[in-house]
Structure 1
Amino acid sequence: MASLLDQAGKLGWILLRALLRFFFMFLNNCFAIPSYCLFLILLQPLRIMDSRAFWHIEGVMFRWLLAMVSSWGWIAGYTVTEWGDDVRPISEEEAMVIVNHQSTGDVCTLMMCLQDKGTVVRKMMWLMDHVFKYTNFGLVSLIHGDFFIRQGKAHRDKQLVYLKRHLDQFYHSRERKWIVLFPEGGFLRKRRETSQAFAKKNELPHLEHVTLPRLGATQVILKTLGVQQENGTLGAAGDGPANITAATQTGASKSRQGLQWVVDVTIGYPKARPMDIQTWIFGYRPPTVTHVHYRTYPIKDVPVETEALTEWLYQRFVEKEELLAHFYKTGAFPPRKGQAEAVSRPMTLDPVWLCAIQTWAFASGYLWYSLLQHAYCWLF
């Protein structure tokens, strides 16, 4: 009887905590997201006079909102350990980030682990499924200039045209530096069977922990944002004579170098149990460490033509398969070439800063509520 009462008490506490977390996050969204939108409406004259200053301010507030989401997981004990290359030294250079995709928690994990990477979060552009547009955070992403892509063969060709147009219009004009995409085009559990059948039919590697990536968006990004040399390879502006540059195509500053890196990110969850957004919201899973592995490639080493790029991209996901197989077997990612053993780095967030972000969210929300209430009373 005592055991049953203890279990009922624990279950009751878990449910109560989940409800309290949900209520807090609901209020968080109700205060922070409208405040973000209203501040940007107020700053529209600045956008006309000095668009660079406007998008700088917008980027700072965007980073705060992502930190707010990160804090939900941080408070529940969901942390990140990093492996592989240290990407902080290249955080101020332009990069394309390719990530394996297992669940909605992948986005939350990236929101958290990129917080301490310089100006990356406020200067990044996300490529995500169009369904995300209709979530509570969709309006923020729409204003920030992220791209929502529709999946499926029926939409593929048009979406790539829209993507190129979007990059030409928003990437350089809004001072973006990193662009994040999930080349698999969907969650692992949804695409694995189809990917394995395609691999078997075309004599490609059999993958269990990732799926074969799709080429389209990756190639559009490389061709649009990279600097193409006369020999057809990519390189930073100044590496040699170039016949096409992203900067001149978009009217951006000539000082921009174009894409300089590809950052290959592999996310691993303990026991291959992905963290989803519901877990971040309700916090019903015990404290969990998500492991993130980085590998960087200079853009000059990345081919841009279809056949070579397809082979290069497939090889990256074969490597991800090997990394994850090792991780699920040992609990750690393997060492890099030249290392005797792998070295991990715990990613930390400043709790004082997180508290300040939350205070700003609620204070600004209350400010706007008071102002709008007074305006309504004055008008009516």
Structure 2
Amino acid sequence: MAETKANGTPMTHDAPSKPDPDYHPGGSVRYNRASQILRVITFNVWFFCCVIVILITQFIGAPLYYLNRKLYYDWMSRTKQSFGVVITTITQWWSPTIIRVTGDRSVRDQIRQAADGSLECHFPERMILIANHQLYSDWLYLWWIAYTARLHGYFYIILKESLKYIPFIGVGMQFYGFIFMARKWEQDKSRMEHRLSKLNAEKEDPMWLLIFPEGTNASSNGRVNSAKYSKKLGIKDLQHQLWPRATGLRFCIEQLKGSVEYLYDCTVHYEGVRRGEFGQDYFTLYSTFFQGRPPKSVNMHWRRFAMKDIPIEDPAEFEAWLRQRWIEKDELLDYYTDNGCFPEDDSAKEESNGEVTGLHQRGVLKGTKATGGDNWKGPVVTEVRISRWTDVAGIFIVIATVALLANVWYKMVLLTKLFF
């Protein structure tokens, strides 16, 4: 039985000096070879059938681009909702996952647990969202957060260019308006400016823009490069993350500051990943969905920062600001590693004018008793799941309607030939 803290949260231990090759944070393999093959088949049938249905729906609506741009973007948003539902179903059915959500005082009143146990995130309709990058599937859990806010149709991701060449899925992501980066700023700047101008044009439309400032998953190779960067600057290295890249995020804030009020930050940790280890080495697609070894829990700690308080005018000042945020995130991850949970203190400092600024977590990070305030009832613990089964039916509604109309038209043609 897993060791737990007094409050029931699982303990996360440091990695041993010689890691056990049989250790896996998700536990032992749950399914035998035959069951794994069956799971691979059923997963792929469901996932790719849904992807093809969504892609056909996108092509049906594509001509709207030349007729009515507003209607076109609404149509594509609907198909994006469908994909958000699909990735929720594959998690719910093939890799059931516990989500544990905390936040500092700047966001705490926006995170609630519904009567049925589900998560409700009352986040704003427009935001820039940053997060540390642990797994290739980080975006999946963050998209689900958008689903809990009923904004999964307005989720945008900045991601590497090679992903747009994935068969079927890559085309769909281009319809979704995702921003693809070649990691060459001279080439990426004009492309990003074009996409952000479209997101900025309709200031009343919802938009969650996700960017991973680290640019890639935390890994042993990445940590080596991060350590070199620390040495170059003469600063203490991070333990759990890679140093963030500031250029792309700064440009996003510059372009969107007139239509976005807050930058939201999510610190993500996967239960059981020990100090010095990396989630990507454990939670592969195969182990997560087919062997039955998903993360025992995905832990998220949320904060927000007012855009007007972020120093974007000077690149060096912004880089220092972002670096400090990553130091704080590393402390949060260190706290989790030692305690098996994120701190629940009032870690946002409220000034006399009501503004929420900065952090003063040091007391909690040193072990002081955590208090969440009068209205905080503790972490929201729930599962990734569909809240409405009609959302699943919605994936097929357009193509089903087209098929029905085609069938009616075909029968009318037959009747016409019969009587005339």
Please confirm whether the aligned pair reaches a TM-score higher than 0.5, indicating the same fold. Answer: yes
Structure 1 residues 173 and 32 mapped into 2: Cα distance closer, same or farther (>3 Å)? farther
Partner residue of 2:302 out of 276, 294, 297: 294
Q: 2: distance between equivalents of 1:214 and 1:287?
A: 27
Partner residue of 1:333 out of 329, 342, 348: 342
Q: 2: distance between equivalents of 1:259 and 1:178?
A: 10
Q: Which amino acid aligns with 2:102?
A: W
Structure 1 residues 268 and 302 mapped into 2: Cα distance closer, same or farther (>3 Å)? same
Any residues of structure 2 matched to 1:227-266 within 5 Å, and which? 227=258, 258-266=259-267
Partner residue of 1:117 out of 149, 154, 163: 149
Q: 2: distance between equivalents of 1:132 and 1:295?
A: 29
Alignment RMSD, CA only?
A: 3.1
Instruction: Give the superposition deviation at 1:132.
Output: 2.0
Q: Is the 8 A contact 1:28 1:362 kept in 2?
A: no
TM-score, with length taken from structure 1: 0.77
**Does 2:337 match 1:312?**
no
Q: Is the 8 A contact 1:95 1:259 kept in 2?
A: yes
Q: Which amino acid aligns with 2:270?
A: Y
Structure 1 residues 352 and 297 mapped into 2: Cα distance closer, same or farther (>3 Å)? closer
1:83 is aligned to: 102
**Does 2:252 match 1:221?**
yes
Unaligned runs of 5+ in 1: 1-9, 228-257
2:356 is aligned to: none
**Does 2:346 match 1:346?**
no
After the TM superposition, which parts of structure 1 deviate over 6 Å for at least 4 consecutive aligned residues?
362-375
TM-score, with length taken from structure 2: 0.70
**Does 2:270 match 1:269?**
yes
Structure 1 residues 168 and 308 mapped into 2: Cα distance closer, same or farther (>3 Å)? same
Unaligned runs of 5+ in 2: 1-27, 111-120, 274-278, 348-368, 373-377, 414-420
Instruction: Give the superposition deviation at 1:346.
Output: 2.1
Q: Deviations over 1:207-235 (max 9, x none)?
A: 010111001111110111113xxxxxxxx
Partner residue of 1:178 out of 201, 208, 212: 208
1:324 is aligned to: 333
Any residues of structure 2 matched to 1:6-155 within 5 Å, and which? 13-75=31-93, 76-84=95-103, 85-86=107-108, 87=110, 88-92=121-125, 94-119=126-151, 121-135=152-166, 136-151=168-183, 155=184
Instruction: Give the superposition deviation at 1:170.
Output: 4.8
Q: Is the 8 A contact 2:311 2:317 kept in 1?
A: yes
Instruction: Give the superposition deviation at 1:327.
Output: 0.6
Partner residue of 2:185 out of 134, 156, 161: 156
Q: Which amino acid aligns with 1:70?
A: T
Q: Is the 8 A contact 2:30 2:291 kept in 1?
A: no
Q: Which amino acid aligns with 2:164?
A: K
- 318-327 or 25-34, which deviates more: 25-34
Instruction: Give the superposition deviation at 1:102.
Output: 1.4
Q: Deviations over 1:99-137 (max 9, x none)?
A: 101121212221223210132x21121101122223353
Q: Which amino acid aligns with 2:99?
A: V
Q: 1: distance between equivalents of 2:213 and 2:246?
A: 7
Determine which structure has the larger helix proportion and give its number: 1
